[in-house]
Structure 1
Amino acid sequence: MSAATSTATSGNVDHVMKPVLFEIFGEIWNVQARLGQGVSASVYKVNSGRASTAAVKEFQADVQGGDYGYHKERSVLEDIQGHKNIVTLYGVFTNHSSVGVATRCLLLELLDVSVSELLVQGGGQGGDQGGRGRQGHSMWLIQHCARDVLEALGFLHREGYVHADLKPRNILWCADDECFKLIDFGLSFKEGNQDVKYIQTDGYRAPEAEHQNLLAQGALEGAEGLDPGALEGAEEVGGLEGAQGCSTAVDLWSLGVILLEMLSGVKLKDTLRSQQWKDSSAAIIDHLFASSSSAASPAIPVYHLRDLIKGMLHQSPESRATAEGALLSPFFSIPFAPHIEDLVLLASPVLRLLNLIDDSHLHNEDEYEDILEDMKEECQKYGSVVSLLIPKENPGKGQVFVEYTNASESKEAQRLLTGRTFDGKFVVATFYPLSAYKRGYLYQTVL
């Protein structure tokens, strides 16, 4: 299998050999974009001649331990395939570039927007000073993400694995399956058989993992000027935990931080490092809830979410909630409706068109049938229309719901229809949850 490569320029200095195509299982896949680049691997969006899209994770050949990273992630993914909230591995292959360099690659399911991108678009990148007035995400979105990730973690933990690098960038939305999925298992390990010393990303790292990382680099005993009190506390937690390896509890800590950031719209990296957090984390969580615009929901759902997050953020791993236990929280029994921002950000195969149809058109049967035909004809320009619905009464009165074969088609339609005029009116296009549409459930009010 081979791939042609070209030189891509990053800024004014860095020159990176970027593949323009991969030959995968005898078929040519063109590289459409580089989705991400790390120390040991790069991820690309690829497209085949059959218009199929996927992602290729290519491990760098010149990085020490690159093959180990590939074999490790491959073995974990192959062992945990089949869960709806874990990225699908389609296959593995070796790529031979035009300059004779062989690299190991994973062919993966192509996913959509990450929680990291949602935090940026929700205003969650502006520091963590107080948090008042910042825009967090809706209860619907937080609940959706929390449930999906907990389902994935529950499965992983039952299989004996620790993800060990849960962070917003590693949780992605799957538009066709209408759920969040976990990616990047390069640091994952079997509980009790930890083969990676440095785990988790700064800002989402559990206290016991922090201590273990320090022990692994010899910082606790060798660092000059280290406060004796800090050393004593680190030995108490890190010495025991570090010797035995971290447990599945580190994943729950990371998820607790992620949900608190989604709720508050605030990055918490500096807060988690502060002495105030160590002294009274519960008070800080209470303050973030009180300051958050997302917490303007009725009190009971807010309290349930607050208690759920507190259960994930216990300093002691033994006291922390488990994934299966967290799924029993009353928070998940409460129905929420999505905000319009959610329906703009999270793609699905169903498109919802607003600001198109007057009430008068709905009550004249001939006009109504003409509109149905006109809308179907227009929407079929962008993909295969499975169904089209225009409710005559509330909920959803006058809105146009278009179900496409897949989310790629609905995304293309959303891009091309937004801002267009129809009968003199500007079109507003959002997505709509496929599961709700299939049940015939139309939200009366979407804020």
Structure 2
Amino acid sequence: MNISSSGDKLEDWENFNVALKKMSQKYEFKELHLGQTLHSPWGRYNVISGLDVGRCCEVYEAEEIKTGDHVALKVFKRSQEYLGALQRELLCLRTLSVPNGPIVNFLGWLDDNQQDILVLELMNGNLRDVLLSHENHNPSPWLVTTLTRDICQAILHLHKHEIVHADMKPPNVMWSAESSCFKLTDFGVSFITSEDYIHSIYSKGYQSPEVQAWNESKGKSSRPTRPGKPSDVWSLGCIIAEVMLGHKLLPTSWRWSEKSQPCIQILKEAFQSLSSKYSKEFLQEATNFLCRCLRDKAGDRDTATNLLSDPWLAADLWRPQIRDLILLPTHILRFINVADERQLQSAVEKREIEDELLEECGKCGPVVKFAWLLESRNFYVEFCKAIDAETAYQALTRRMYNSRTLVLTFFPVNFWQKDELF
């Protein structure tokens, strides 16, 4: 086997996947300890590491002992204060979760030592991580439109069940390598449109005018009309504008009033700074779309159903950039320029390269399919599981093969399924 380790330094963009592995190293996780085993009727889970911490919970990575599948354990802190958040989360997950659906997949709920623990699909970093990795680079049109379409589909799924997310923001949008899409998470303040809820909703910077009025009226005898589905659409507009601008469209100090500048005007003025960073056509279509989300009056905003039909979101209109293919894992790997043209003209040498690369990939997990793009000498490998593709990416990147340093990326599933390789 002629694949060996290499100390050669690759281009800086090959290190961007580190952004999706961010760990809370300075935080002392308290609810579970590493190596602890949790038992449930459907499996046993070994705690591997702490991932994140929130106001009411801690999140851990764990491995199901029998299958080897990796999951997330969301452990609610032991306090009556957080019981409502747990109940809302459970209700929404049980109602909305479907395999490969637009929200995080719910695998089960267990009570261990009087701790409430949700077993969830293990995600691959949140939108905040993606934004941090683009600190000096504008997200590609593919990333912007893919994100927008995925969130729209998630909102539509919630709204069909008469559920409002009520806390949409970048940390609650996460990438699923297994499903190859962005998904919504964290339903601790979500509500059903028919309920008489009284809690404060949404985070500052993502609050629509009607949400601000509702939150500020808490405790008063007279309250304004309760927010609903249009408030999620407003948050969508704020999130996508933030992704494109690199900062929040509306600062946390922003307060709406009848005399305020319309948010649509704030958007248009802010987007003038993007004129040299996106094409005129793309920027105009993005502005038109976001204006449909950010109308000041809730009744004037468009629905998720109508937004999904916007031509700006036409599938596969854009191709991902190299940074996208490293930041966002899938279960498909692309090996770039792994052989010389002469080698691929020989059936024997071509088969030898295939066998060697597949042997190395097979060490990381079962392989389903492979393909060549001969004009660019790229080799593609589809794994059964995305986590196996991630393992192979980590193991083989920077390795020496065929007198060259291996350069790998992930590859988008929708292009793979259409045999549209690049």
TM above 0.5, yes or no, is: yes
Aligned to 2:30: 16
Instruction: Find the partner of 1:425 among 391, 404, 411.
Output: 404
Q: Tell which deviates more after alignment, 325-334 or 243-252.
A: 325-334
Percent identical among aligned pairs is 27
Q: In the alignment, which residue of structure 1 is the partner of 2:115?
A: 103
1:295 Cα deviation from its structure 2 partner? 4.6
1:406 corresponds, among 385, 389, 395, to 385
* Match in the other structure for 1:366: 348
Residue 374 of structure 2: aligned partner: 392
Tell whether 2:250 aligns with 1:285. Answer: no
Which letter maps to 2:82?
G
Distance 1:398 1:300, change over 3 A: same
1:113 corresponding residue in structure 2: 125
Counterpart residue number, 1:39: 55
Structure 2 stretches of 5 or more lacking a match?
Answer: 1-23
Match of 1:143 in 2: 145
Instruction: Determine if contact 1:136/1:294 at 8 Å carries over to the other structure.
Output: no
1:58-97 per-residue CA deviation (whole Å, 9 max, x = no partner) reads 2222x2333332222112221223271012211111111x
Residues 41, 172 of structure 1: CA spacing in aligned structure 2 closer, same or farther, 3 A cutoff? same
Question: 1:191–1:294: structure 2 CA closer, same or farther, 3 Å change rule?
Answer: farther
Matching of residue 76 in structure 1 with residue 92 in structure 2: yes
Q: What is the letter of the counterpart of residue 401 of structure 2?
A: F
Indicate how the Cα distance of structure 1 residues 286 and 268 shifts in structure 2: closer, same or farther if over 3 A, else same. Answer: closer
Instruction: State the shift of 1:157 in Å.
Output: 1.1
Between the aligned partners of 1:349 and 1:210, the Cα distance in structure 2 is 42
Question: 1:10 and 1:441 mapped to 2: Cα distance?
Answer: 40
**Cα distance 1:82–1:377, how it changes in 2: closer, same or farther (>3 A)?**
closer
Give the deviation of 1:46 after TM superposition.
1.2
Partner of 2:339: 357
Instruction: Give 2:32's aligned amino acid.
Output: K
- The within-5 A match list for 1:37-436 is 37-50=53-66, 51-61=68-78, 63-82=79-98, 84-96=101-113, 102-123=114-135, 135-216=137-218, 242-270=223-251, 273=254, 278-292=260-274, 295-297=277-279, 299-333=280-314, 335-393=317-375, 397-436=376-415
> Cα deviations across residues 144-178 of structure 1 (Å, max 9, x unaligned)?
11111111111211211111011111111111111
Superposed displacement of residue 384, structure 1: 1.5
How much has 1:378 moved relative to structure 2?
2.2
- CA 1:339 to 1:217, structure 2 compared with 1: closer, same or farther past 3 Å? farther
Output the TM-score relative to the length of structure 1: 0.82
Letter in 2 for 1:42: E
Structure 1 counterpart of 2:288, one-letter code: D
CA RMSD in angstroms comes to 2.5
Question: How far off its partner does 1:47 sit?
Answer: 0.8
TM-score (norm 2): 0.86
DSSP 3-state at the match of 1:440: coil
Distance 1:15 1:379 in 2: 34
CA contact (8 A) 2:263 2:296 kept: no
1:230 aligns with: none
Do the aligned residues in 1 keep the contact of 2:103 with 2:185 (CA within 8 Å)?
Answer: yes
Preserved contact between residue 136 and residue 261 of structure 1 (Cα < 8 Å): no
Question: For each residue in 1:321-355, what CA deviation from the matched residue of structure 2 results, as whole angstroms up to 9, or x when unmatched?
Answer: 21111112111226110111110011001101114
Name the CA distance, whole Å, in 1 between partners of 2:88 and 2:38: 22
- Name segments (4+ residues, structure 1) moved above 4 Å: 9-12, 274-277
Say if 1:304 and 1:329, in contact at 8 Å, map to a contact too.
no
CA 323–294 in structure 1, closer or farther in 2 if over 3 Å, else same: farther
193-202 or 270-279, larger mean C-alpha shift: 270-279
Greater RCO, 1 or 2 (C-alpha within 8 Å, sep 6+): 2
Change (3 A) 1:408 1:196: farther
**What is the CA deviation profile of residues 400-428 of structure 1, one whole-angstrom value per residue up to 9, with x for unaligned ones?**
11111111011011111111111221111
User: Would you say the 8 A contact 2:209–2:256 is kept in 1?
Assistant: no
Letter in 1 for 2:369: S
Query: How many aligned positions are there?
Result: 393
- The question of whether the paired residues in 1 share the 8 Å contact of 2:373 and 2:421 is answered with no
Task: Give the residue type in structure 2 aligned to 1:94.
Answer: D
